[in-house]
């Protein structure tokens, strides 16, 4: 089946890394190279500097961290990029995991000073499970970091993927001279004072011009690394790359934009166009004429003035036209998608057409849930969109009783985004929230106040873990009656028990052998 040229030029990828590796900074540079922003923001922006485009929430700007995935669309070298900038902090990892279900490849960003870090390892495990093709960028070469060969070895031994350097740095830290491209024997000259970049053609690594530009000591070290890389490592294999078993490696500095163009060129040349997707019925090919897609993220109040709510849809096949009617599989009804939007983080632009591979936003009146499938009428559901069991819990106490409606609306809308789970206790009117990471509590409290005017206190509940109670309805009812103080209803009105310790869970399993106590809402 021949692929439509519009679909063939789509590149949909996520950026994943440990916090502070430079992820948001490199995102800004991508947008700058794509000519969609005039000035790249800086993560720790001051009053006289621009904020980063992708960190659009006020709490992100205040703290200098990403707490929510943002989607950015931009053109580059004849390709159309759909970039998902994900949170690096582990407390927001469930947003990153869901984002990885919506992309065809990923950029793994590594800090040259700290090497491979804990959160990168976790995210890489998710990529490996999904066989996601990976391109690696080793950032902050303008700082004194680890040796080149040590960093490459770490990628292979810790991230468990074959690393193939496409570029190599010459010099390091304040004496960083530039990046040599192995494939075409070009040298990208780094000038720290002017920020000017110049790409020079070389005859090879032994070209005497390199010594003139960089000095003999740095060039000798580079040539040793070049010999190891080209002589002792496997050649690049595109098939292994597409299986997620081999990754190209690039070096540079995101904050100066150095080496970023080569990285973008690699995504244009190497990263896959939209890939086939599995459903519970069959495999969907992107070149099929009929539209299909799934919701992987819901975001409330991207524009606080309008109290909007946006469903992010990954288009998996076909073409989508503004105003098309589509079949919403879960509700078994047709819906009209009136104003699909492309993104520059919170800035939206209504578009007329979108293709397989694109990520579009749809105004959500409360109809969509994460994981929902949309088709042209076919009853199928895309698989692999995860749901997460919370690890931390707190009671939500409203400090101003006159704001009860605002609290109810805020909890409903914010928990539907998927990062926070809402529960109603069996014997109490005070709602309980559960999160994967504790920092989510701060975000929820902040957003309830700033977006809904509901000031709350969050009182932590010590817990061993939450379990969904599955079994004969009469037996479930008996258990809930006997253990009412620890039982709650989730958003789907299913009973769950928040066990305060392992002993209570063990006792429940022993006393109610006909019931199952399962760790996820999927049972």
What burial letters (b/e) apply to 40-66, b meaning 16+ CB within 10 Å? bbbbeeeeeeebbbbbbbebbbebbbb
353 is in an annotated binding site: no
141 is in an annotated binding site: yes
128, two tokens: 């490996």
482, two tokens: 């006997």
276 is in an annotated binding site: no
Partners of 325 in beta bridges: 336
- How crowded is residue 276: how many other Cβ atoms within 10 Å of its Cβ? 13
- Indicate the pairing of strand 162-165 with strand 246-251: parallel
86 is in an annotated binding site: yes
Q: How far apart are CA 523 and CA 518, in angstroms?
A: 6
Q: How far apart are CA 104 and CA 78, in angstroms?
A: 18
23 is in an annotated binding site: yes
140 is in an annotated binding site: yes
- How crowded is residue 493: how many other Cβ atoms within 10 Å of its Cβ? 7
301 is in an annotated binding site: no
274 is in an annotated binding site: no
- Of 71, 53, 133, the closest CA to residue 343 belongs to 71
196 is in an annotated binding site: no
269 is in an annotated binding site: no
181, two tokens: 């491209």
Q: How far apart are CA 375 and CA 372, in angstroms?
A: 10
88 is in an annotated binding site: yes
- Of 237, 7, 9, 17, the closest CA to residue 106 belongs to 17
89 is in an annotated binding site: yes
Whether the Cβ atoms of residue 396 and residue 107 lie closer than 8 Å to each other: no
20 is in an annotated binding site: yes
List Cβ neighbours of 157 (8 Å cut-off, separation of 6 or more): none
Place of tokens 């969904």: 468
What is the H or E stretch that residue 169 is in? strand 167-170
- Binding residues, as ranges, are 17-24, 85-89, 139-142
- Binding residues for GTP, as ranges, are 17-24, 85-89, 139-142
């Amino acid at each position: 089946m021949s692929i439509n040229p519009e679909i063939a030029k789509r590149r949909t990828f996520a950026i994943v890394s440990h916090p502070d590796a430079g992820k948001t900074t490199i995102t800004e540079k991508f947008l700058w190279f794509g000519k969609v922003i005039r000035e790249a923001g800086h993560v720790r922006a001051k009053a006289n500097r621009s904020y980063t485009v992708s960190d659009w929430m006020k709490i992100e700007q205040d703290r200098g961290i990403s707490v929510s995935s943002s989607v950015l669309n931009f053109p580059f070298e004849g390709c159309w990029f759909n970039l998902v900038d994900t949170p690096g902090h582990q407390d927001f990892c469930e947003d990153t995991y869901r984002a990885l279900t919506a992309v065809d490849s990923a950029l793994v960003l590594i800090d040259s000073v700290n090497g491979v870090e804990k959160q990168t390892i976790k995210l890489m495990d998710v990529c490996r499970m999904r066989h996601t093709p990976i391109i690696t960028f080793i950032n902050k070469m303008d700082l004194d970091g680890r040796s080149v060969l040590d960093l490459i070895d770490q990628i292979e031994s810790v991230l468990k993927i074959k690393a193939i350097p496409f570029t190599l740095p010459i010099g390091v830290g304040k004496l960083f001279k530039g990046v040599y491209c192995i494939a075409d024997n070009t040298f990208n000259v780094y000038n720290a004072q002017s920020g000017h970049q110049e790409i020079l053609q070389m005859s090879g690594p032994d070209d005497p011009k390199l010594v003139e530009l960089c000095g003999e000591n740095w060039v000798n070290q580079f040539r040793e690394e070049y010999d190891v890389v080209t002589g002792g490592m496997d050649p690049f294999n595109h098939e292994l790359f597409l299986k997620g078993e081999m990754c190209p490696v690039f070096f540079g500095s995101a904050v100066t934009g150095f080496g970023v163009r080569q990285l973008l060129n690699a995504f244009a040349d190497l990263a896959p166009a939209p890939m086939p997707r599995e459903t519970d019925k069959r495999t969907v090919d992107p070149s099929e004429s009929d539209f299909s897609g799934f919701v992987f993220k819901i975001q409330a109040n991207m524009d606080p003035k309008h109290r909007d709510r946006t469903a992010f849809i990954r288009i998996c096949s076909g073409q989508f036209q503004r105003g098309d009617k589509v079949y919403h599989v879960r509700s078994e009804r047709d819906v009209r998608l009136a104003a699909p939007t492309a993104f520059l983080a919170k800035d939206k632009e209504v578009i007329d057409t979108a293709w397989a591979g694109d990520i579009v936003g749809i105004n959500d009146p409360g109809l969509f849930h994460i994981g929902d499938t949309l088709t042209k009428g076919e009853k199928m559901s895309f698989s692999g969109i995860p749901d997460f069991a919370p690890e931390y819990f707190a009671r939500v106490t409203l400090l101003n009783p006159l704001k009860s409606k605002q609290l109810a609306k805020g909890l409903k809308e914010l928990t539907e985004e998927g990062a926070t789970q809402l529960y109603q206790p069996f014997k109490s009117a005070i709602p309980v929230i559960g999160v994967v990471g504790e920092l989510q509590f701060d975000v929820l409290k902040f957003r309830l106040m700033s977006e809904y005017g509901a000031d709350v206190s969050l009182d932590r509940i010590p817990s061993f873990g939450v379990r969904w109670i599955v079994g004969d309805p009469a037996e479930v009812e008996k258990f809930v009656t006997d253990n009412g103080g620890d039982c709650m209803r989730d958003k789907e009105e299913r009973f769950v028990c928040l066990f305060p310790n392992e002993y209570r869970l063990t006792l429940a399993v022993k006393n109610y052998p006909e019931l199952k106590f399962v760790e996820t809402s999927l049972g």
